[in-house]
Amino acid sequence: MFVRVLSMSVLAVFVSTAQAVSFDCQKAKTFTEKAICQDPELSVLDDELDSLYQNAEARSKNPKALRKQEAKWMKERDACQTNGCVKKAYQKRIIDLTPE
């Protein structure tokens, strides 16, 4: 019984985390998008980055430049072919967008 309850709890956390991304996982096509939707840790990083980006955009004196930087970063992120590479890309971008 305990194992069943534990399994259900883990599944509930995974499902809620997998949906906490900045895009619709039903439309995921690239390796990176699928990795984010399938890996709870990447999903959390995506959610954190989305929040930081929204805040940076609201504070930005030059939103156009910020969007250009984000597009460049997304190209680099999408070149990844492993979850570890995607994770490192998110960690770097999160540092870049974290207010000092």
Per-residue pLDDT of the chain (100 residues; tens, 9 = 90+): 544 433 434 444 444 444 557 889 999 999 999 999 999 999 999 999 999 999 999 999 999 999 999 999 999 999 999 999 999 999 999 999 998 8
What residue type is assigned to position 80 of the chain?
A: C
d(CA 28, CA 15): 16
Rounded distance between C-alpha atoms, residue 54 and residue 2, angstroms: 41
Q: What pLDDT does residue 5 have?
A: 35
pLDDT at 19: 54
- 22: Cβ contacts below 8 Å, ≥ 6 apart: 46, 47, 49, 50
pLDDT at 29 (0 to 100): 93
State how far the Cα of 94 lies from the Cα of 97, in Å rounded to an integer: 5
